[in-house]
Amino acid sequence: MSTPMRSGIVPLLLVLAVAHSPAQAPGTDTDPKEALQELLSKALTVTVSARVLPPDTQEETPVWNAESTKLTLPGRSIKVRLDGENVRIYLICTPYLQDDGDVLLLAQGQVWFTESQDKENRYFSTFYSIPVSFGEKVLFFPLGLSDADAQQKNHFNIEVEIKIVPYEKKQ
């Protein structure tokens, strides 16, 4: 006798369970304005400076330099591409905030290089995970770090500097 009644209650309970389920999600919801403020407080400014240094180590003035400042969120990668006559360099940086307040920088470098003589292409790919403090500089040498031998051959060297600081809203 109770079967029809029971079969009628089950869908009702299911509906109520579905309607109630969002409130059972773990965690605490924050006001959207506070959420936006918190999001802004987590935003990061990534500055990438590239410079070509002369062969002479005594000369500090770069032959060429360029800078790019990117705004991002922790976990969102930024990408910088350097285009040269015979080289193309990709730098992909993904900063992560650590529990201690520092930043873990995941950086991937890709270098495409074309030999001028035989038109042979060379490709390098590197991946680094570097814990850094805010403002601490990270250097990337996509074509290697020139040694004394390279300096004697008057080879230019390219250097990319990465710096991450917290985003501060412009007033």
Partner 1 sequence: MDETRHLLKEEEDQQWRAPMERVRRRILAHVPRERERVSAWKRQVSLPLPVAALAAALLLTFGVTLAVLATRTNMGYIRVTKAPAGGTEYQFAVPYDKVEALLKSMGGADANIESVMTIPKSVKLIPVGEPRMGKANDFLRKKQ
By CB under 8 A, the residues from 75 to 114 that bind partner 1 are 76-87, 99, 107, 109, 111, 113
Q: How far is the CB of 91 from partner 1 (least distance, A)?
A: 9
Under 8 Å between Cβ of 167 and 71: yes
- Of 83, 95, 82, the C-alpha closest to 46 is 95
CB 167 within 8 A of CB 70: no
Q: Which of 96, 102, 156, 166 touches partner 1 by CB under 8 A?
A: 156
In the stretch 20-59, what mask flags binding to partner 1 with x, by CB under 8 A?
-----xxxxxx-xxxxx-xxx-xx-x--x-x-x-------
Structure tokens at 37: 């403020």
Q: Does 68 bind partner 1 (CB under 8 A)?
A: yes
CA distance linking residue 106 with residue 88, whole number of Å? 20
- Using CB under 8 A, count the residues that bind partner 1: 82
Is the CB of 59 or the CB of 71 nearer to partner 1?
A: 71
Contacts of 155 (CB under 8 A, 6+ apart): 55, 146
**What is residue 17's three-state secondary structure?**
helix
102: nearest Cα among 129, 150, 76, 134:
134
CB 88 within 8 A of CB 81: yes
Q: Which of 96, 102, 104, 136 binds partner 1 (CB under 8 A)?
A: 136
State how far the Cα of 71 lies from the Cα of 99, in Å rounded to an integer: 21
Among 19, 117, 118, 120, binds partner 1 (CB under 8 A): 19
Q: Report the residue from 119, 120, 147, 171 that binds partner 1 according to the rule CB under 8 A.
A: 147
CB of 26 to partner 1, least distance (A): 6
| Tokens 């965690």, located at residue | 27
Least Cβ distance, residue 98 to partner 1 (angstroms): 12
Q: How far is the CB of 57 from partner 1 (least distance, A)?
A: 9
- Kindly state the smallest distance separating residue 61's Cβ from partner 1, in Å: 14
